[in-house]
Amino acid sequence: MPLKFALAGNPNSGKTTLFNELTGSTAHVGNWPGVTIDRREGRYKGAGEEIDIVDLPGIYSLSPYTPEELIARNFIIEEKPDLIINIVDVTNLERNLYLTTQLLETDCPIIVALNMSDQLEKRKSYIDRAGLEMALGVPVVGISALRSRGTDELMKRAISTARKKRSGHTVLWHTQLDDAITKAYTHLLETGASHPLFKAVKIIEGDIHVAADDEMKRLRDDLKKEFDDLEATVADLRYKYITKHFSRCLKTTQNQNELSFSEKADKILTHKFLGIPIFLLFMYLIFHLTFGENLFSIEGVPSPGKLMQGGAEYLIDQLANIVSGLLESAGASDWTYGLLVDGIIGGVGAVLSFVPQIMLVFFFLSVLEDSGYIARAAFIMDRLLRRFGLSGRSFMPLLMGFGCSVPSILATRTLESDRDRRLTMILIPYMSCGAKMPIYALFAAALFKQHSDFMVFGMYVLGITTAVTSGIILKKFVFKDSVIPFIMELPDYHRPRLRNLLLHIWEKLKGYIIKAGTIILISTVVIWFLANFDITLKMVEQNSADSILGKIGNAIKFIFVPLGFVGKTDGWKSVVAILTGIIAKEAVVSTLGVLYTSAAQADIAGDTFIATIAATFTPVSALSFMAFNLLSIPCVAALSALTSEMKSTKWTLFSIAFWVTMAWIVSFLIYTIGSLLI
Ligand code: GDP
Ligand code: MG
Percent of the chain with pLDDT over 70: 92
In short, whether 590's Cβ falls inside 6 Å of ligand 1 is no
* Sign of the torsion angle spanned by Cα atoms 21, 25, 27, 28: positive
Q: Which of 446, 448, 471, 472 is nearest to 459 (CA)?
A: 448
In short, whether 58's Cβ falls inside 6 Å of ligand 1 is yes
What is the DSSP code string of 86-102?
Answer: EEEEGGGHHHHHHHHHH
Specify the pLDDT at position 382. Answer: 74
Higher-scoring residue by pLDDT: 127, 343: 127
For atom 6 of ligand 1, which residue has the closest CA? 14
Q: Which residues contact 146 (CB under 8 A, 6 or more apart)?
A: 14, 17, 116, 118
Inter-axis angle of helices 649-677 and 636-646, nearest 10: 140
Q: Which residues contact 357 (CB under 8 A, 6 or more apart)?
A: 290, 291, 305, 306, 308, 309, 312, 437, 441
Q: What residues are neighbours of ligand 2 (ion), with CB under 5 Å?
A: 15-16, 36
Average the pLDDT over each of 360-374, 476-490, 494-508 and give the range with the smallest value: 476-490
Residue 336 · residue 327 · CB < 8 Å? yes
Distances, alpha carbon 462 to alpha carbons 288, 317, 630, in Å: 17, 33, 9
Distance CA 77, CA 84 (A): 11
**Secondary structure E strands in 288-435:** none
In short, whether 29's Cβ falls inside 6 Å of ligand 1 is yes
For atom 28 of ligand 1, which residue has the closest CA? 146
Tally of residues, the chain:
678
Ligand 1, residue 10: give the atom nearest the CA.
3
Q: Does pLDDT of 115 surpass 80?
A: yes
Distance CA 633, CA 581 (A): 9
Query: How many A from CA of 27 to the centre of ligand 2?
Result: 9
In short, whether 146's Cβ falls inside 6 Å of ligand 1 is yes
Ligand 1, residue 144: give the atom nearest the CA.
23
For atom 9 of ligand 1, which residue has the closest CA? 14
Q: Which of 674, 619, 620, 287 is nearest to 448 (CA)?
A: 619
Specify the pLDDT at position 223. Answer: 87
Average the pLDDT over each of 338-342, 472-476, 627-631 and give the range with the smallest value: 338-342
pTM across the whole model: 0.60
**pLDDT-based confidence at residue 26 (cuts at 50, 70, 90):** very low
Specify the pLDDT at position 638. Answer: 86
Distances, alpha carbon 415 to alpha carbons 53, 281, 408, 490, in Å: 27, 30, 12, 19
CA count, 13 A, side-chain hemisphere, 623: 24
Ligand 1, residue 143: give the atom nearest the CA.
23
Query: How many A from CA of 12 to the centre of ligand 2?
Result: 6
Distance CA 497, CA 317 (A): 36
Residue 626 · residue 442 · CB < 8 Å? no
So what's the architecture of 3-162 in CATH? 3-Layer(aba) Sandwich (3.40)
**pLDDT-based confidence at residue 391 (cuts at 50, 70, 90):** low
Supply the DSSP symbol for 258.
-
In short, whether 30's Cβ falls inside 6 Å of ligand 1 is yes
In short, whether 9's Cβ falls inside 6 Å of ligand 1 is yes
Mean pLDDT of 48-58: 88
Question: φ, ψ for residue 533 (rounded to 5)?
Answer: -130, 150
**pLDDT-based confidence at residue 316 (cuts at 50, 70, 90):** confident
In short, whether 113's Cβ falls inside 6 Å of ligand 1 is no
Query: How many A from CA of 21 to the centre of ligand 1?
Result: 11
Q: Which of 205, 185, 204 is nearest to 195 (CA)?
A: 185
Query: How many A from CA of 29 to the centre of ligand 1?
Result: 8
Q: Which residues contact 73 (CB under 8 A, 6 or more apart)?
A: 62, 64
Q: Does pLDDT of 324 surpass 90?
A: no
Q: Which residues contact 409 (CB under 8 A, 6 or more apart)?
A: 397, 425, 428, 638, 641, 642, 645
Mean pLDDT of 183-192: 93
In short, whether 123's Cβ falls inside 6 Å of ligand 1 is no
Specify the pLDDT at position 495. Answer: 80
Distance CA 69, CA 423 (A): 21
Q: Which residues contact 249 (CB under 8 A, 6 or more apart)?
A: 127, 128, 129, 131, 132, 135
Bridge pairing between strands 83-89 and 110-115: parallel
Ligand 1, residue 15: give the atom nearest the CA.
3
How many CB atoms sit inside 10 A of residue 570's CB? Answer: 18
Ligand nearest to the CA of 32: 1
Residue 515 · residue 406 · CB < 8 Å? no
CATH 1.10.287 in the chain, residue ranges: 178-252
In short, whether 57's Cβ falls inside 6 Å of ligand 1 is no
Give per-residue pLDDT as tens, 571-592.
888 998 998 888 888 889 888 8
Bridge pairing between strands 49-55 and 40-46: antiparallel
Q: Which of 590, 598, 595, 588 is nearest to 625 (CA)?
A: 588
Query: How many A from CA of 29 to the centre of ligand 2?
Result: 6
Ligand 1, residue 119: give the atom nearest the CA.
26
Give per-residue pLDDT as tens, 245-303.
988 888 877 665 666 777 788 888 888 888 889 988 888 888 888 877 777 877 778 78
Give per-residue pLDDT as tens, 234-254.
988 999 999 899 888 888 776
Distances, alpha carbon 555 to alpha carbons 135, 546, 560, 573, 659, in Å: 74, 12, 11, 12, 22
Distance CA 101, CA 95 (A): 10
Higher-scoring residue by pLDDT: 124, 633: 633
In short, whether 96's Cβ falls inside 6 Å of ligand 1 is no
DSSP H or E segment with residue 9: strand 3-9
Give pairs for 368-371: CB < 8 Å, separation 24+.
368/282, 370/494, 370/496, 370/497, 370/500, 370/501, 370/504, 371/493, 371/494, 371/495, 371/496
The 3-class secondary structure across 394-418, one letter per residue, is: HHHHHHHCCCCHHHHHHHHHHCCCH
How many CB atoms sit inside 10 A of residue 315's CB? Answer: 14
Query: How many A from CA of 58 to the centre of ligand 2?
Result: 7
Residue 385 · residue 392 · CB < 8 Å? yes
**pLDDT-based confidence at residue 138 (cuts at 50, 70, 90):** very high
Distances, alpha carbon 428 to alpha carbons 356, 362, 391, 431, 492, in Å: 25, 18, 14, 6, 27
Ligand 1, residue 11: give the atom nearest the CA.
2
Query: Which range, 179-193, 501-515, 608-622, is most confident?
Result: 179-193
Residue 206 · residue 231 · CB < 8 Å? yes
pLDDT, mean over the chain: 84
Average the pLDDT over each of 224-238, 369-383, 597-611, 663-677 and give the range with the smallest value: 597-611
In short, whether 31's Cβ falls inside 6 Å of ligand 1 is yes
Specify the pLDDT at position 33. Answer: 37
Distance CA 141, CA 359 (A): 50
**pLDDT-based confidence at residue 211 (cuts at 50, 70, 90):** confident
Distances, alpha carbon 329 to alpha carbons 318, 437, 673, in Å: 17, 37, 52
CATH 3.40.50.300 in the chain, residue ranges: 3-162
In short, whether 20's Cβ falls inside 6 Å of ligand 1 is no
For atom 24 of ligand 1, which residue has the closest CA? 116
Specify the pLDDT at position 601. Answer: 47
Supply the DSSP symbol for 12.
T
Q: Does pLDDT of 630 surpass 90?
A: yes
For atom 19 of ligand 1, which residue has the closest CA? 14
Higher-scoring residue by pLDDT: 136, 17: 136
Hey, is 564 helix, strand or coil? Answer: coil
Query: How many A from CA of 15 to the centre of ligand 2?
Result: 5
Query: How many A from CA of 41 to the centre of ligand 2?
Result: 12
Mean pLDDT of 355-365: 82
Specify the pLDDT at position 30. Answer: 39
Distance CA 626, CA 607 (A): 21
Residue 349 · residue 320 · CB < 8 Å? yes
Hey, is 561 helix, strand or coil? Answer: helix
Mean pLDDT of 540-560: 81
Query: How many A from CA of 147 to the centre of ligand 1?
Result: 10
Distance CA 635, CA 383 (A): 31
| Ligand 1 pocket test, candidate residues 29, 59, 88, 91, most atoms within 8 A of CB | 29
Q: Which of 103, 605, 74, 87 is nearest to 319 (CA)?
A: 605
Ligand 1, residue 33: give the atom nearest the CA.
2
Ligand nearest to the CA of 149: 1
Ligand 1, residue 145: give the atom nearest the CA.
23
The CATH classification number of 178-252 equals 1.10.287
